[in-house]
């Protein structure tokens, strides 16, 4: 694994000539209840990106912590949709200009609008830049089980138990089943998670991401990104009225 920030120009040029993938973790500072840290998304994405870069001889970039549509809470930080689009387009274009031809955007934050915008940015970039392949997704996304894309629930808790158990505080949870507004939990109860489950899932996901990178083609990646749109069609039909921010507000209001 090579770290972009530590490379000399000639070293980076050699890696691009060898078709090394550029691997960029995308994090967030977002409320995850009383049992998980605000930076869970970025912590998981960075760890996963480091492992993936090591497995694929990739070039690891410093993480970007600029999410959109985080859960409404006074400790959740976010940027506007327009800002995210510009940053994505500029970062991908800069990597292409640098010489990267395979780019992986690993997002620990996978709110509906955020994921759609990342996939749209990937498709724009591949259409505009000949020979460029861009894959974006959550660490566990290639496992093809939407239950695993929870929030502060069993699977996010399991991932962090495997990576940073010192940051997980299940003792802060109550015995009752609070609402999402009280707990930030969307999915199965966090107490169902375990370090062993998290480790197994992350290892399987790393294998899947490595295979994606090795077998990447425009057609395969285009199909993946379009499947993201299909997944969120019900959400878009129900809540989107021209603004992802307003859609998040309306969706969250129904969670009670």
d(CA 160, CA 154) in angstroms, rounded, equals 10
Residue 87 covered by a domain? yes
255 pLDDT band, cuts 50/70/90, is confident
Residue 57 covered by a domain? yes
| pLDDT score at 183 | 93
| pLDDT score at 148 | 96
3-state SS, the chain, equals CEEHHHCCHHHHHHHHHCCCCEEEEECCCCCCCCCCCCCHHHHHHHHHHHHHHHHHCCEECCCECCCCCCCCCCCCCCCCHHHHHHHHHHHHHHHHHHCCCEEEEEECCCCHHHHHHHHHHHHHHHHHCCCCEEEEECCCHHHCCHHHCCECCHHHHHHHHHHCHHHCCHHHCCCCCCCHHHHCCECCCHHHCCHHHHHHHHHHHHHHHHHHHHCCCHHHHHHHHHHHHHHCHHHHHHHCCCCHHHHHHHHHHHHC
What's the structural domain count of the chain? 1
Residue 188 covered by a domain? no
232 pLDDT band, cuts 50/70/90, is very high
CB 67 within 8 A of CB 78: yes
pLDDT in tens, 39-97: 999 999 999 999 999 999 999 999 999 999 999 999 999 999 999 999 999 999 999 99
| pLDDT score at 186 | 95
Burial 127-161 (b: 16+ CB within 10 A, else e): eebeebbbbbbbbbbbbeeeebbbbbbbbbbbbbb
Residue 99 covered by a domain? yes
Residue 189 covered by a domain? no
| pLDDT score at 177 | 65
| pLDDT score at 21 | 98
| pLDDT score at 179 | 87
| pLDDT score at 14 | 98
Place of tokens 């929030």: 151
pLDDT in tens, 156-201: 999 999 999 999 999 999 877 678 999 999 999 999 999 999 999 9
Two structure tokens written together for 156: 């996010």
Residue 165 covered by a domain? no
Question: Mean pLDDT across the stretch 99-113?
Answer: 98
| pLDDT score at 248 | 97
CATH of the domain at 238: 3.40.50.10310
pLDDT in tens, 9-50: 999 999 999 999 999 999 999 999 999 999 999 999 999 999
Closest CA to 35 of 161, 140, 149: 161
Q: Virtual CA dihedral for 4, 49, 195, 33, nearest 10 degrees?
A: 90
| pLDDT score at 178 | 74
Q: Which domain holds residue 60?
A: 2-144+209-255
Residue 193 covered by a domain? no
Residue 56 covered by a domain? yes
């Amino acid at each position: 694994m090579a770290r972009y920030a530590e490379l000399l120009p000639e070293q980076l040029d050699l890696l691009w000539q060898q078709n090394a993938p550029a691997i960029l973790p995308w994090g967030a500072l977002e409320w995850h209840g009383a049992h998980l840290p605000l930076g869970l998304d970025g912590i998981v994405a960075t760890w996963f990106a480091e492992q993936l870069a090591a497995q694929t001889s990739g070039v690891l970039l410093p993480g970007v912590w600029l999410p959109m549509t985080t859960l409404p809470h006074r400790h959740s930080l976010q940027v506007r949709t327009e800002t995210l689009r510009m940053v994505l387009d500029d970062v991908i274009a800069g990597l292409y200009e640098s010489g990267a031809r395979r780019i992986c955007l690993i997002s620990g934050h996978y709110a509906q609008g955020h994921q759609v915008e990342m996939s749209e940015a990937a498709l724009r970039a591949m259409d505009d830049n000949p020979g460029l392949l861009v894959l974006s997704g959550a660490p566990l996304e290639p496992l093809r089980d939407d239950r695993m894309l929870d929030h502060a629930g069993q699977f996010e808790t399991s991932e962090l138990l495997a990576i940073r158990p010192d940051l997980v505080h299940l003792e802060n949870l109550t015995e009752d089943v609070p609402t999402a507004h009280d707990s930030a939990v969307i999915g199965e109860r966090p107490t169902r998670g375990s370090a062993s489950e998290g480790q197994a899932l992350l290892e399987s996901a790393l294998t899947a991401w490595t295979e994606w990178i090795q077998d990447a083609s425009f057609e395969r990646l285009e199909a993946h990104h379009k499947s993201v749109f299909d997944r969120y069609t019900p959400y878009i039909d129900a809540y989107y009225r021209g603004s992802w921010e307003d859609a998040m507000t309306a969706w969250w209001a129904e969670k009670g």
